[in-house]
């Protein structure tokens, strides 16, 4: 691959993304179903690229871009670090504790249930399916295209050559299930009166439908924390992300060559980024006061859009056809799981604003944060349910549990420790349910009609 090849690939990717954004702003079907422009562009790239019509001169390297871009994405997450709010955590312990338990249970069930189903049923029917196959669903559904690329790359290094293509397909199906399924469930919930803040599904802002934000509704992407006279602020933030990305790659190569250990590069980059976050410091003397988290987030999100494009556009259709039956069974099991987790576990583990919280987790668990956010904004545009606030506070609790799955899962599943791996996540789920019952965060018997809004519950407890 040459730099010119890279330039041509990204040029045509950008053209298709631009065209897809135009189509999203004009085509009612795409607007009604909130199809992301990057996902639509990926389908166009798949249809027009070498895998099908071969009308666009993509290189043979487009399948490798996702594995590199994901390093950048994880580094951007690490650079932003974690933030806890002990005061709010104490005041709203019940609401956030219940929500944290629910999010962990959803993640763990999506990890261990498909693995068990794959080992006991799919592998028995189709002997060629290895024991790591079940993790493809969680990587694609809960993790999205980025995690699918990362886990697929790790699997490929362990001999599971088709993992990335299967993971990308899983992530694509997950996003479609999240969008179409989420919209159907929102319509059902509004008709039954389960939503608290929006009673009419048709009252969706035009900005969300078209993707084009009116001048009166626009927000700033970030602040200029560095004077352009010295260095462009965007270049400063880009450098902050590229440093752990490149160092992660170099360090992982050194570890592999020296000790023969093979860690996922995105994990190493994430850890280095976290160390940079700590070293830079957030105090008055810390360098981090010149880092704008919004700018870092936008850079990581921009990379994710290109990751989605290349992930979908580079899917090898012959591989998908070869695995059509087992992959179809796995996807159906995943859709059933997330539906049950929404309608059964959701109201059982969330009290106030249970549907708003559950539909956000549903969207997150079938695609990416953006899908969950889109679904939430339809029924709670002003975050009155405090779902986003609580997600920011309890989110870090999920991170080590999730990171362990993506980092250690492939090696454990293919190395004969499949039951140990599944058992870990079964145990975590059981502990969360026990904690919920112990702390009276279990609301199974509370009728839906007796559940208040989050704001109303907060007002009630403060009086």
pLDDT in tens, 100-158: 999 999 999 999 999 999 999 998 888 889 999 999 999 999 988 878 988 998 999 99
Residue-averaged pLDDT of the chain: 86
Residue 211 DSSP class: S
Residue 269 contacts residue 71 (beta carbons within 8 Å): yes
CA 112 to CA 405: how far, in whole Å? 10
Cα Rg, the chain, nearest whole Å: 22
Q: Comparing 78-92, 119-133, 206-220, 344-358, which segment has the lowest mean pLDDT?
A: 78-92
φ/ψ bin of 34: left (φ > 0), alpha (ψ from -120 to 50), beta (otherwise): left
For residue 364, give both structure tokens.
């997150």
CA 175 to CA 24: how far, in whole Å? 16
Helix/strand/coil for 267: helix
For residue 368, the tally of other CB atoms under 10 A from its CB is 24
> For the residues of 98-133, what is the DSSP string, one character each?
HHHHHHHHHHHHHHHHHHHHIIIIIHHHSTT--TTT
Phi, psi of 159 (to 5 degrees): 105, 0
| Per-residue pLDDT, 454 | 64
CA 25 to CA 30: how far, in whole Å? 8
The predicted model gives 263-286 an average pLDDT of 79
Tell the residue number behind the tokens 């299967």, with chain if given. 166
- Chain center to CA of 118: 23
| pTM of the full structure | 0.74
Digit-coded pLDDT (tens) for 183-225: 899 889 988 888 888 766 566 678 878 889 999 888 888 999 9
| Per-residue pLDDT, 446 | 87
| Per-residue pLDDT, 256 | 84
Q: Which H/E stretch holds residue 385?
A: none
Q: Comparing 84-98, 158-172, 292-306, which segment has the lowest mean pLDDT?
A: 84-98
For residue 442, the tally of other CB atoms under 10 A from its CB is 18
Residue 325 contacts residue 319 (beta carbons within 8 Å): no
CA 184 to CA 196: how far, in whole Å? 17
CA 52 to CA 43: how far, in whole Å? 11
| Per-residue pLDDT, 460 | 43
For residue 418, the tally of other CB atoms under 10 A from its CB is 21
Residue 238 contacts residue 299 (beta carbons within 8 Å): yes
Going by C-alpha positions, the residue among 23, 17, 22 that lies closest to residue 39 is 17
CA 332 to CA 321: how far, in whole Å? 16
| Confidence bin at 94 (pLDDT 50/70/90) | confident
CA atoms within 13 A on the CB side of 5: 9
The predicted model gives 9-15 an average pLDDT of 97
333 versus 2: the higher-pLDDT residue is 333
| Confidence bin at 181 (pLDDT 50/70/90) | very high
* Helices (H), ranges, 142-263: 144-157, 163-176, 182-192, 206-210, 233-259
| Per-residue pLDDT, 318 | 86
> For the residues of 398-431, what is the DSSP string, one character each?
HHHHHHHHHHHHHHHHHTT-HHHHHHHHHHHHHH
The predicted model gives 389-415 an average pLDDT of 85
| Per-residue pLDDT, 463 | 36
173 versus 393: the higher-pLDDT residue is 173
* Helices (H), ranges, 314-345: 317-322, 324-340
Please tell me the total number of residues recorded for the chain in this structure.
Answer: 463
């Amino acid at each position: 691959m040459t730099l010119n090849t890279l330039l041509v690939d990204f040029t045509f990717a950008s053209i298709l993304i631009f065209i897809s954004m135009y189509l999203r702003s004009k085509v009612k079907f795409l607007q009604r179903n909130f199809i992301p422009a990057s996902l639509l562009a990926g389908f166009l790239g798949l249809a027009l690229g070498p895998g099908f019509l071969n009308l666009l001169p993509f290189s043979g390297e487009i399948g490798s871009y996702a594995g590199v871009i994901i390093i950048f994405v994880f580094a951007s997450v690490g650079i932003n670090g974690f933030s806890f709010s002990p005061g709010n955590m104490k005041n709203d312990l019940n609401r956030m504790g219940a929500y944290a338990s629910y999010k962990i249970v959803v993640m763990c069930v999506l990890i261990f249930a498909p693995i068990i189903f794959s080992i006991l049923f799919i592998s028995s029917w189709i002997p060629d399916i290895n024991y790591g196959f079940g993790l493809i669903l969680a990587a694609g559904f809960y993790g999205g295209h980025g995690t699918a690329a990362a886990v697929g790359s790790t699997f490929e290094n362990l001999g599971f050559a088709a993992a990335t293509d299967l993971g990308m397909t899983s992530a694509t199906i997950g996003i479609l299930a999240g969008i179409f399924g989420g919209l159907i469930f929102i319509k059902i919930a509004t008709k039954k009166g389960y939503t608290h803040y929006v009673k009419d599904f048709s009252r969706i802002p035009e900005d969300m439908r078209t993707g084009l934000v009116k001048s009166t509704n626009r927000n700033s992407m970030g602040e200029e924390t560095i004077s352009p006279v010295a260095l462009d602020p965007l270049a400063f933030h880009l450098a902050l992300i590229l440093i752990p990305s490149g160092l992660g790659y170099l360090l992982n190569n050194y570890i592999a060559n020296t000790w023969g250990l093979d860690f996922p590069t995105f994990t190493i980059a994430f850890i280095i980024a976290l160390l940079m976050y700590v070293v830079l410091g957030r105090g008055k003397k810390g360098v981090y006061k010149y880092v704008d988290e919004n700018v870092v987030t936008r850079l990581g999100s921009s990379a994710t859009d290109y990751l989605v494009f290349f992930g979908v556009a580079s899917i090898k259709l012959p591989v998908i056809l070869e695995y059509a039956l087992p992959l179809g069974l796995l996807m159906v099991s995943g859709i059933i799981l997330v539906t049950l987790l929404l309608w059964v576990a959701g109201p059982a583990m969330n009290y106030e604003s249970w549907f708003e919280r559950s539909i956000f987790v549903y969207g997150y668990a079938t695609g990416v944060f953006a899908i969950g956010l889109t679904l939430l904004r339809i029924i709670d545009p002003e975050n009155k349910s405090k779902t986003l606030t609580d997600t920011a506070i309890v989110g870090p609790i999920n991170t080590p549990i999730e990171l362990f799955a993506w980092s250690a899962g492939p090696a454990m599943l293919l190395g004969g420790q499949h039951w140990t791996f599944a058992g870990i996540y079964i145990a975590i789920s059981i502990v969360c349910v026990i904690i919920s019952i112990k702390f009276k965060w279990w609301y199974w018997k509370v009728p839906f009609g007796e559940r208040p809004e989050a704001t109303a519950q907060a007002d009630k407890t403060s009086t």
